[in-house]
């Protein structure tokens, strides 16, 4: 079952969300963004931009690249439905109250300019969070074969009673956030690697298991810490064994290869190369059996992208 996140994209003078988008792409199969949120970016190629807005050209190029590589998908606005759920109605009412409160606070004379600015930004993010949660609920109603989660910025909207969501949020906090200099091509290549994908599926399987268990969230964190520590320790031992074995095989194979080639014994030369591949395959199989392998994806992702 694919994991998708609904992202409340907003344009600023600088592409401030790029590191976060990179982080999300390392966990979720796809990032979903309402097509209406791209209106400013989509206009970039149609008009001359002031110098301070030239960043939009880069931003548009990134989005086009991510959409082309199936990391991001646009979705059209949901049409009004007659079968709106109670949860959606509550969120819609919450949204309208937020807007009203914003206008009421703006009228208050006793707020300083700085307080008004903070209040305005808080309500701005809060309203976007609410709309994102509503869209997430609509996705869940229309697709039972995938999972959808909202990406939220405001602490008030982060609260949830869903154990699965809490576990995923905890795991997401463990995923590193690549910096601006990390090429998108490197992230996409990492996502596409079969060995990495197997580790990712093992992690998702563990998430599903603990989310449906009787363990408290604190106990799940304890289990995660144990698995991570155990895997890190065993992987370092395995890595030393792998490096030593690889060096030994390379040296022996190279010496034998040169010797056999010089004497015209091509069969033995290719037999040595075949044995080298078998040795590497056996070591990879051993890695898949290491204790704590359930969270190996986190360990390797940190090793690859952590600043």
Element (DSSP H or E) covering residue 138: helix 113-142
pLDDT at 284 over 90: no
* Domain span holding position 264: 160-307
Residues 39 and 83 in one domain: yes
Separation CA 178–CA 153 (nearest Å): 19
Picking from 211, 109, 120, the residue whose alpha carbon sits closest to that of residue 164 is 211
Q: Where are the alpha helices (DSSP H) in the chain?
A: 18-25, 39-42, 55-68, 86-107, 113-142, 155-158, 163-174, 184-192, 194-211, 217-262, 266-287, 296-305
Which tokens is 41 given? 């970016």
pLDDT at 30: 96
Q: Report pLDDT digits (tens) over 17-66.
A: 999 999 999 999 999 999 988 888 877 665 555 655 667 888 889 999 99
Conformation bin of residue 213: beta by default, left when phi > 0, alpha when psi is -120 to 50: beta
Same-domain check for residues 110 and 54: yes
Structure tokens at 106: 């703006």
302 and 164 in one domain? yes
Q: Please report where in the chains the tokens 């074969």 appear, as a residue.
A: 145
Summarised one tens digit per residue, pLDDT across range 223-278 is 999 999 998 888 777 665 555 445 454 445 555 545 554 555 444 444 454 455 54
Domain closes at, from 158, 184, 216: 158
268 and 146: one domain? no
The DSSP code for 51 is G
Q: What is the number of structural domains in the chain?
A: 2
Query: Domain boundary at 158, 181, 202, which?
Result: 158
Radius of gyration (C-alpha) of the chain in whole angstroms:
25
Of 75, 207, 72, which Cα lies nearest the Cα of 134?
75
Phi, psi of 34 (to 5 degrees): -60, 130
Q: Which of 114, 139, 158 is the C-terminal boundary of a domain?
A: 158
Residues 125, 241: one domain? no
Q: Are residues 232 and 129 in the same domain?
A: no
3-state SS, residue 275: helix
């Amino acid at each position: 079952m694919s994991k998708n996140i609904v992202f409340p994209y907003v344009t600023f003078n600088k592409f401030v969300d790029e590191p976060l988008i990179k982080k999300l792409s390392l966990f979720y199969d796809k990032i979903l963004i309402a097509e209406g949120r791209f209106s400013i970016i989509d206009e970039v190629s149609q008009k001359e931009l002031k110098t301070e807005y030239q960043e939009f050209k880069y931003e548009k190029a990134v989005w086009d690249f991510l959409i082309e590589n199936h990391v991001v998908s646009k979705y059209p606005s949901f049409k009004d439905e007659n079968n709106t759920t109670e949860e959606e109605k509550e969120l819609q009412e919450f949204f309208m109250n937020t807007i009203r409160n914003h206008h009421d606070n703006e009228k208050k004379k006793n707020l300083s300019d700085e307080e008004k600015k903070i209040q305005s930004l808080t309500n701005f993010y809060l309203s976007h969070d609410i709309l994102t949660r509503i869209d997430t609920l609509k996705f869940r109603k229309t697709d039972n074969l995938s999972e959808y989660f909202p990406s939220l910025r405001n602490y008030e909207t982060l609260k949830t009673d869903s154990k699965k969501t809490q576990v995923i949020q905890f795991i997401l906090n463990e995923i590193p956030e690549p910096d601006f200099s990390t090429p998108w091509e490197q992230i996409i290549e990492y996502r596409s690697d079969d060995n990495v994908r197997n580790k990712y599926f093992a992690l998702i399987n563990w998430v599903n298991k603990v989310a449906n268990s009787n363990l408290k969230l604190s106990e799940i964190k304890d289990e995660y810490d144990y698995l991570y520590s155990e895997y890190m320790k065993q992987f370092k031992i395995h890595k030393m064994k792998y490096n030593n074995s690889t060096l030994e095989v390379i040296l022996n194979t190279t010496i034998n290869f040169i010797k056999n080639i010089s004497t015209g014994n091509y069969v033995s030369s290719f037999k040595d190369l075949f044995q080298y591949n078998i040795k590497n395959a056996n070591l990879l199989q051993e890695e898949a059996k290491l204790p704590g392998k359930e969270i190996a994806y986190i360990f390797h992702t940190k090793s690859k992208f952590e600043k």
